[in-house]
Chain A
């Protein structure tokens, strides 16, 4: 009878445990990397329909391209053509005189009432230092998260239609969910073993070490998790974004991201930016550079500036207000590797 009670007790505990931990299994995950690889073929109308709303500011469409004629006409009206006899221009330009007075301070005032402005110090040009200061805790985030996103797996993911994109996003999400629930799943198995086939074992002291080890491991995990939780500011999680909401955001930013050509040459120019948004989807402060914190590689500065420009141009972001807590802070990885042309 004692055994029966124990079995029943354990079974109940297991049940309750599964109920508790299984739950998150069914909830979508919010804080995960979401990769959407191919969205480029949607027409703007399709997209509008998909995202059911205006995603971003009117994306600048290259209308009538200005006649790009190589040859410059001014030649004829050359103000000083005769001097071309010594075209090497011995006396010429090269005297590059340095910057005149910085004046940037002056240019700061005209800033409109936008939130970005106060951050617009002249330094962004050498964006190396200021950014990391902003939020040290966030800097750690990318490293644990980076490994799980091996994006090579869909290098050639080609043309897909609107509906497929949604699917892909959903797929992505469902793929992520189980990762979280793996812990609870494995435990019931263990318990079952001890439970059904050999109840006597429970009475015997023998298996104790195993159980203890399990308990210890769990306790350790628990302590670690608690410590982690404590170390980070407790932010209340908002409801998760749906796949289409996230892919809508991704698409909007893609449309604003004009990849500089110098960058195309260097696949290593992956920039991670962080933004904070106000409730109306505007930037609360200037986008900050999370990684690389600095870099001397050619083009890294341009990569950062292009990413910053994209994030500024793209506002206001059209995101569900009821999920503000979820998207209040966003980390965006700008990865040009699939756009490398040579």
Chain B
């Protein structure tokens, strides 16, 4: 009985000796990193063809502006570059880019032939000394150079972050001019970065709350054209417009369903405001809420199954969710203060809202079940959030106090970072982001 013990002990001792020694690699866990803008370098794209030089530098600069503007990347200025790219197909001298700590390198070429503009680019991981994905090429008429630049930015953003992008998109908003007590309002559309501003209406009627259709070709908005607020539908290209619901009553706060076939909106009849779904084709209306309280600001979930809206049925404005065909609504906002203008994120996981608490306005986000509420901004008046196509950025408008107070459009990351103003030719309010353009 003792023998086996002794043998075992001796045996185990042997195992412990170097003869049997084995080692597993040292193992460590990294659970903290840095979240800082990734340094990128994009030397001016190589230009080929008459007059391509100007395009090359403009396109390069728009790409850098897109990427750096996202707050996720940092441009290494050209002045710091050790070498440039003079031949798009020549091997990249990674050492030169590593030396300036560029983590990603974008090289590109711009060619002009006739009215056609061709933009090519490649993306490199400088430290791994390898290409990230394959190069891409876009071709279009010269006039679309900006969109091509945004498309390049989108491709780079997606490749580096792993999520979809939002640069090739537009924003429809209310452009405002004139003194506060006599504001002239017009519908306007612009690129997401404020470029290519274009007015869709003149300032003869007050207009409000424009929203894009899922295919980005139409907008619904509210106009006082007929004296009372009514929802109109407009084709963004032809500018043709029509009244959506010709029956009496005020209609406002419209928004498309994800399939683009319906519009959900508020309708006020005899002093009672409820939410209705209207078929765009045949005008058939379905009432989704009832009761004496005010229900408004409906917004579909991306799967079209549910609608989030605001209601004062509990005594105070709060956010509720109900099935898309109406029915029992469930309250999801429970914080202090009141909540309004809820908008469902295109990713489906969050809801952005305006919150009024202690006399301050906030733009915030919460999960669909109302948990994890986070306020992203605070000011005298922040309102009307709208999501970027990828659900990463929120645009809204901020109005300053006082007699000379005026609204301006801002954007902020869903994490609350990178708050900045979007340039518009005049005052701007009520922005609505399109989806990514096709």
Give A135's nearest chain B residue, CB to CB: B25
Among B2-10, B304-312, B324-332, the stretch that binds chain A is: B2-10
Q: Closest approach, in angstroms, between the C-beta of B73 and any C-beta of chain A?
A: 9
Most chain-B CB neighbours within 10 Å: which of A35, A222, A303?
A222
Chain B residues lying within 8 Å of A237, measured Cβ to Cβ, are: 21-23
Given A70-B423, A260-B162, also A214-B5 (CB < 8 A): yes
Task: Give Cα A264 to B161, complex, Å.
Answer: 10
Are A82 and B143 neighbours in the complex by a CB distance under 8 Å?
yes
For window 150-196 of chain B, which residues contact chain A by CB distance below 8 Å? 151, 160-163, 168, 170, 189, 193-196
Given A83-B141, A96-B137, A331-B27, also A117-B129 (CB < 8 A): yes
Given A74-B62, A337-B31, also A234-B22 (CB < 8 A): yes
Any chain A CB within 8 A of the CB of B403?
no
Q: Closest approach, in angstroms, between the C-beta of A127 and any C-beta of chain B?
A: 10
Choose one: A69, A79, A86; the contact of B65 (CB below 8 Å): A69
Any chain B CB within 8 A of the CB of A179?
no
Chain B residues lying within 8 Å of A71, measured Cβ to Cβ, are: 193-195, 422-423
Are B30 and A258 neighbours in the complex by a CB distance under 8 Å?
no
Give A23's nearest chain B residue, CB to CB: B16
Are A333 and B163 neighbours in the complex by a CB distance under 8 Å?
no
For window 291-334 of chain A, which residues contact chain B by CB distance below 8 Å? 298-303, 305, 308-310, 312-313, 325-327, 329-334
Given A66-B68, A202-B1, A264-B35, also A32-B160 (CB < 8 A): no
Given A75-B196, A98-B134, A235-B21, also A60-B101 (CB < 8 A): yes
Choose one: B4, B35, B120; the contact of A211 (CB below 8 Å): B4
Q: Closest approach, in angstroms, between the C-beta of B267 and any C-beta of chain A?
A: 31
Q: Closest approach, in angstroms, between the C-beta of B378 and any C-beta of chain A?
A: 19
Are B94 and A110 neighbours in the complex by a CB distance under 8 Å?
yes
Chain B residues lying within 8 Å of A31, measured Cβ to Cβ, are: 23-27
Chain B residues lying within 8 Å of A246, measured Cβ to Cβ, are: 26, 28
Are B71 and A254 neighbours in the complex by a CB distance under 8 Å?
no
Are A342 and B414 neighbours in the complex by a CB distance under 8 Å?
yes
Are A312 and B237 neighbours in the complex by a CB distance under 8 Å?
no
Q: Closest approach, in angstroms, between the C-beta of A306 and any C-beta of chain B?
A: 8
Among B85-93, B221-229, B315-323, B379-387, the stretch that binds chain A is: B85-93
Given A86-B237, A89-B144, also A263-B162 (CB < 8 A): yes
Are A33 and B162 neighbours in the complex by a CB distance under 8 Å?
no
Chain A residues lying within 8 Å of B103, measured Cβ to Cβ, are: 258, 309, 313
Chain A residues lying within 8 Å of B65, measured Cβ to Cβ, are: 69-70, 72
Chain A residues lying within 8 Å of B243, measured Cβ to Cβ, are: none
Are A74 and B28 neighbours in the complex by a CB distance under 8 Å?
no
Are A212 and B141 neighbours in the complex by a CB distance under 8 Å?
no
Task: Give Cα A104 to B124, complex, Å.
Answer: 10
Are A93 and B237 neighbours in the complex by a CB distance under 8 Å?
no
Are A120 and B68 neighbours in the complex by a CB distance under 8 Å?
no
Are B392 and A79 neighbours in the complex by a CB distance under 8 Å?
no
Q: Closest approach, in angstroms, between the C-beta of B116 and any C-beta of chain A?
A: 9
Choose one: A84, A141, A219, A234; the contact of B4 (CB below 8 Å): A219
Are B91 and A326 neighbours in the complex by a CB distance under 8 Å?
no
Any chain A CB within 8 A of the CB of B433?
no
Are A109 and B91 neighbours in the complex by a CB distance under 8 Å?
yes
Q: Closest approach, in angstroms, between the C-beta of A104 and any C-beta of chain B?
A: 5
Given A17-B9, A125-B132, A274-B25, also A35-B31 (CB < 8 A): yes
Are A342 and B350 neighbours in the complex by a CB distance under 8 Å?
yes
Chain A residues lying within 8 Å of B91, measured Cβ to Cβ, are: 106-110
Q: Contact mask A85-97 → B, CB, 8 Å, 1/0?
A: 1111101111111
Are B32 and A40 neighbours in the complex by a CB distance under 8 Å?
yes
Are A10 and B2 neighbours in the complex by a CB distance under 8 Å?
yes
Q: Closest approach, in angstroms, between the C-beta of B237 and any C-beta of chain A?
A: 6
- Give the interface size class of chain A: 35 or more
Given A77-B58, A151-B31, A298-B162, also A68-B22 (CB < 8 A): no
Q: Closest approach, in angstroms, between the C-beta of B136 and any C-beta of chain A?
A: 6
Given A91-B141, A96-B137, A261-B163, also A120-B128 (CB < 8 A): yes
Task: Give Cα A237 to B71, complex, Å.
Answer: 46
Q: Contact mask A122-137 → B, CB, 8 Å, 1/0?
A: 1011000000000000
Chain A residues lying within 8 Å of B12, measured Cβ to Cβ, are: 20-21, 218, 221-222, 225
Q: Closest approach, in angstroms, between the C-beta of A32 and any C-beta of chain B?
A: 7
Q: Closest approach, in angstroms, between the C-beta of B115 and any C-beta of chain A?
A: 9
Choose one: A82, A124, A325; the contact of B130 (CB below 8 Å): A124
Are A69 and B5 neighbours in the complex by a CB distance under 8 Å?
no
Given A66-B74, A91-B140, A111-B94, also A335-B30 (CB < 8 A): yes
Are A33 and B27 neighbours in the complex by a CB distance under 8 Å?
yes
Task: Give Cα A229 to B19, complex, Å.
Answer: 9
Any chain B CB within 8 A of the CB of A34?
yes
For window 224-280 of chain A, which residues contact chain B by CB distance below 8 Å? 225-226, 228-230, 232-238, 241, 246, 249-250, 253-255, 257-265, 274
Are A110 and B92 neighbours in the complex by a CB distance under 8 Å?
yes
Q: Which 7 A-B pairs give the minimum distances between C-beta atoms?
A: A83-B143, A99-B134, A262-B162, A215-B4, A71-B423, A257-B33, A302-B162
A109-B91, A262-B161 given; 8 more Cβ-contact pairs under 8 Å:
A20-B13, A62-B39, A79-B58, A89-B144, A107-B124, A218-B11, A258-B33, A302-B160
Q: A residues touching B (Cβ–Cβ < 8 Å)?
A: 6, 9-10, 13, 16-17, 20-21, 24, 30-40, 60, 62, 65-66, 68-72, 74-75, 77-89, 91-100, 102-104, 106-112, 116-117, 120-122, 124-125, 138, 141, 145, 149, 151, 202, 207-208, 211-212, 214-216, 218-219, 221-222, 225-226, 228-230, 232-238, 241, 246, 249-250, 253-255, 257-265, 274, 286, 298-303, 305, 308-310, 312-313, 325-327, 329-339, 341-342
